[in-house]
Structure 1
Amino acid sequence: MMIPTLFKLTSSISEQLPFAVTPVKPTPLRDSFLLTYSRSCGDLLGLPANFWQSPEFKTVLAGEKLPKGGVYTAQVYAGHQFGQFVPQLGDGRAISIGEISNHVGESYEIQLKGSGLTPYSRMGDGRAVLRSCIREFLASEAMAALNIPTTRALSIVGSNEEVYRERVEQGAMMARVAQSHIRFGHFEYWFHRNKIPELTHLANYCIEQFYPEANTQELPYLYLFEQIVQRTATLIAQWQAHGFAHGVMNTDNMSILGLTIDYGPFGFLDDYNPGFICNHSDSSGRYAFEEQPSIGLWNLNALGLTFSTWLSVQQITTALKAYEPALVKRYLSIMRQKLGLANWQASDQQLLGQLLAIMAEQKADYTLTFRLLNSVDVDDVNNANCDALLQLFRCQKDIKKWLVTYRARLQEDALRKDERVKEQNKVNALYVLRNYLAELAIKEAESGCYHTLEKLHSVLSTPFTWQRDSELFAEKAPNWGKKLEVSCSS
């Protein structure tokens, strides 16, 4: 009996942008095995139930077999890295196998990250290590569950192959999924080489594939740029609201679809620290948490320069002016819901600012502080139900004073407490991927046990809902966990 094909692929980027990709074959890992997978991502792709049990699943995602219709390719792009332009970068350790369409007609590109040398590997080996694959796998799926736009992770293939970083580590390969992996750097590559026909072809491809409504506009390229500005603004607003620091916001790590892409030295805030730097290589603090909104605009300016091919300076400037209002609007909308307010008043910005200032001064846990606001009752003037919240603050005087103002503000709203808590719990996560939790999963996995990895993946898939026997994952980070250094090799 013929076994149905699991992957039915096409490759629009190799067909329509052949100048932007290079054919390349992956180098499979020795003694590889399927280590873990995401049911949620599989469902997104329209894969059948129990897809992970198909022998084809592992062989395809280990780079051992190319399904019919697929094409192995690596993409070329440029980018500003820490503010300095690098004229050629590219997929140095990621190889695309093609695109798969789900049951509603959405198309997703699958890349194998850690699949070996490509023409863009530069001084690297084209490999990924188990540590980095686990971090990106967990982060991608956790961010999706938080409703933050992101690339997805379908699987990790492990191996016994040795890979050399700061130490000898286990080689691994992760399947990364997105509607597109095109970055700001793709546009920069062709623009700065004065390859205008290729640049225009790239822009037209993005319009046809991802922004077809642009074709109904008087100025399609202006519409395309405006949409990228809007999506970038709303993405970074969500990062700020949920306490996520990317760590390496180079233009080659910025998606034209407004997705979080390239998880290296990322980190969720433990203590609220606006100046939090999650990348130990970022000595200047360029990509500190509080700098992310301004860096987003900096990167859009770099992208805007490439659009000067078709647009005037005035058109580009006007489009960029929409960035800050869009970011602030989305951010305040989320923060209104995090505070449990039915509507936003001008004075609420001061209320929020006061809370954040107290949290920063007291080094209160960002995620848990907002989650535990659901314990506040307008009639509980003695804070009888707020003990867990108050325990997050070393000195409780200022937070108790703030709670008086907060209760008074809640009394002005028409929401009953149960309605308010329900809305708050939709955006105030109980579980986030803290660096120390990822470290626990990694250390255990490196010894051949994957229990914590699987448990953490499961817990993070429903971050807003309390889960039995998962108390460990909802605790504050221990002191050692707050001091972990994460590098780009992570």
Structure 2
Amino acid sequence: MFPFRVMLFALVAASSFTPVCVLQFCTDGDGDCHRHDATASSSRPPNTFTSRWNASASNLDRFRVSCKKLIEAFPIDEGGGNYARSVKNCIFSKSTPTPLKGPLRLAAASKEVMEDILDLDVAVTRSDDFLLYASGGRLPPGSAPLAHRYGGHQFGYWAGQLGDGRAHSLGQYTNRKGEVWELQLKGSGKTPYSRSGDGRAVIRSSVREFLGSEAMHFLGVPTSRAASLIVSDEPVMRDQFYDGNVKTERGAVVLRLANSWFRIGSLEILSQSGEIDLLRKLLTFVIAEHFPSIHPDDPDKYLAFYSTVVNETAHLIARWTSVGFAHGFVPNTSDDEGRYAIGAQADAALFNLEKLATALGPVLPGKQQSEARDILKGYVDIYHKRTHRLFKAKLGLLGEEEDDGSLIAFLLKMMEETHSDFTMTFRQLSEVSFQQLLNRNFTQLWALEDLSSHNLFPDWLSMYRLRLLRQPNDGDLERQQRMKNENPRYVLRNWMAQSAISKAEKNDFSEVELLHHILSFPFITQEVAEKAGYAQRPPSWAKRLKVSCSS
């Protein structure tokens, strides 16, 4: 799996969306029938934690699915089965999910997604109907599930047809706020794009997806959302590290949502295959549905589309690097060259944008191709300017001074050389008073103690204190609160995910639920999280953890 496939749904998260195939919430008697918010909607105090599974379940009879718009917009592959094959001249293939073999268990569900996005009481997740709908065992009425055809590059090389090898799109739901979300099952069985795979996901990868997407949302990063995680006893064979050590694991399915699942690879496969009329049709559709600021009759509409994607990609990568995220949270063990390492995220995105420009080449006149190259040249500057603003906020800096960039770079270099923890270094800088900075009193502040071992730390600290003193009418409390709002205390670390996975594989989902709750309030100190050690040094056994592409 190409770990840096930038999805269009993330790039246009702030845009308004029009339904493609709508999962409608019907009223009684009706027979036919992107806004980011990092603040949790739950009214529960963050320092308390109680299980949410204590209400009676309701039914799902009012949901209906319509995918008419998509099916009418594009040629659909109706090859007649989920067997792996090369698919041409289409955007989607009809593909039916393969039900997980029972018994089925609910491992996790997002109260916010269920209630604020899907307009359902979270108690509905306790019903047998929900287990079936959320695992592929039953389709919403009128459903025509689809698997998306796309291509892409892996580790810098064209990999040809990829596609939804273990995912099925069910349709889209328009909620009471007018937001449109496309529902998709991940791990729901073979499709025409499964290649040699079995179409399944296992518990470890599904737990990471569920927690990871939700954690990113509450950190303020545009992302897909996870509604639920269903696990089964179905045996799934996996060679986790591709070393010949095949083990039996258990199948799982995540019900996830996004404003759109179109991506750069959706365009690449058509361009590479010479399906230019279909490429033009897909571009026109995507622009009309997801880029309302671009007029459909604008002769430069494809160029305007590319400019928007370049700009939003730069902002997206800057945002997630500002919270210490690497795509996949930890580097893939098969990435021997570090192509997707934490320091290479912006470069990998640039590579994607170069490939997007190539994919658009057949529909851009010569002059516009040249203009596209000029647009791409601006990516680095956009990224650096956005990153600069974000890291200034992380350090509590107001206004603009000439040496601010040097102050930030100086700190990051020391952190790298002392192996200081990214998250906790910034968080602990948010929590210390100016007097503590003056006295270098970092007792029990383990990340700052690590940083202070650098021989140039006193020099940096002096520069930082003087910079803060030049901010008029800015007291300690104001600065600390600003910084705490920018610097999370809790992020999904690999060891935390692994601890939850180990329990989940034994049908103990308590830590999955606990982590989901904690990560819904990442900027607020929580007693239960402190007791769990989520803001402490990682345990020694965490150094031995490895994560593969399939994880």
Contact 2:60 2:130 in 1 (8 A): no
Contact 2:394 2:486 in 1 (8 A): yes
Contact 2:106 2:126 in 1 (8 A): no
Contact 1:336 1:343 in 2 (8 A): no
Letter in 1 for 2:507: G
RMSD: 1.9
Letter in 1 for 2:253: M
Q: In structure 1, which of residues 11, 16, 19 is the aligned counterpart of residue 73 of structure 2?
A: 16
> Deviations along 1:212-245, whole A, 9 cap, x unmatched?
2111755211111111111111111112211111
For residues 154 and 463 of structure 2, what CA distance do their matches in structure 1 show?
A: 44
Letter in 1 for 2:164: D
Q: In structure 2, which of residues 480, 484, 488 is the aligned counterpart of residue 429 of structure 1?
A: 488
Q: Give 1:42's aligned residue.
A: 114
Q: Give 1:299's aligned residue.
A: 352
**2:174 is the counterpart of 1:109:** no
Contact 1:6 1:47 in 2 (8 A): no
> Deviations along 1:71-100, whole A, 9 cap, x unmatched?
211011111111111221110000111111
Q: Give 1:271's aligned residue.
A: none
> Deviations along 1:356-395, whole A, 9 cap, x unmatched?
1111111111100000112343344212366515323372
Q: CA deviation at 1:25?
A: 0.9
Letter in 2 for 1:440: S
Q: Give 1:7's aligned residue.
A: 63
Q: Indicate the structure whose relative CO is greater, using CA pairs within 8 Å and at least 6 residues apart.
A: 2
Q: In structure 1, which of residues 23, 26, 31 is the aligned counterpart of residue 97 of structure 2?
A: 26
Q: In structure 2, which of residues 305, 316, 326 is the aligned counterpart of residue 235 of structure 1?
A: 316
Deviates more, 1:109-118 or 1:386-395: 386-395
Letter in 1 for 2:385: K
Letter in 2 for 1:281: S
For residues 476 and 62 of structure 2, what CA distance do their matches in structure 1 show?
A: 48
**2:326 is the counterpart of 1:245:** yes
Q: CA deviation at 1:333?
A: 1.3
Which segments of 5 or more consecutive residues in structure 2 lack a partner in the other structure? 1-27, 30-58, 77-89, 240-246
- Change in Cα spacing, 1:386 to 1:441, as seen in structure 2 (3 Å) is same
Percent of paired sites with the same residue: 37
For residues 70 and 294 of structure 1, what CA distance do their matches in structure 2 show?
A: 40
Deviates more, 1:89-98 or 1:10-19: 10-19
- Change in Cα spacing, 1:56 to 1:329, as seen in structure 2 (3 Å) is farther
Q: In structure 2, which of residues 244, 255, 262 is the aligned counterpart of residue 175 of structure 1?
A: 255
Report matched runs for 1:313-324 at 5 Å.
Answer: 313-324=369-380
For residues 287 and 66 of structure 2, what CA distance do their matches in structure 1 show?
A: 19
Q: Give 1:345's aligned residue.
A: 401
Report matched runs for 1:22-421 at 5 Å.
Answer: 22-31=93-102, 32-50=104-122, 51-166=124-239, 167-215=247-295, 217=298, 219-246=300-327, 266-267=328-329, 278-311=331-364, 312-380=368-436, 381-384=438-441, 388=445, 389-393=447-451, 395=453, 397-414=455-472, 415-421=474-480
* 4+ residue runs over 4 A deviation: 1-4
Q: CA deviation at 1:289?
A: 1.3
Q: CA deviation at 1:287?
A: 1.2
SS at match of 1:328: helix
For residues 430 and 15 of structure 1, what CA distance do their matches in structure 2 show?
A: 48
For residues 71 and 354 of structure 1, what CA distance do their matches in structure 2 show?
A: 55
Contact 2:225 2:257 in 1 (8 A): yes
Letter in 1 for 2:292: P
Contact 2:414 2:454 in 1 (8 A): no
Contact 1:390 1:399 in 2 (8 A): no
Deviates more, 1:422-431 or 1:477-486: 477-486
Q: CA deviation at 1:57?
A: 2.3
User: Could you tell me the TM-score, scaled by structure 1's length?
Assistant: 0.90
Q: Give 2:9's aligned residue.
A: none
Aligned residues: 462
SS at match of 1:282: coil
Letter in 1 for 2:329: G
User: Could you tell me the TM-score, scaled by structure 2's length?
Assistant: 0.80
Contact 2:145 2:168 in 1 (8 A): yes
**2:504 is the counterpart of 1:445:** yes
Contact 2:94 2:145 in 1 (8 A): yes
Contact 2:92 2:146 in 1 (8 A): yes
Q: Give 1:257's aligned residue.
A: none
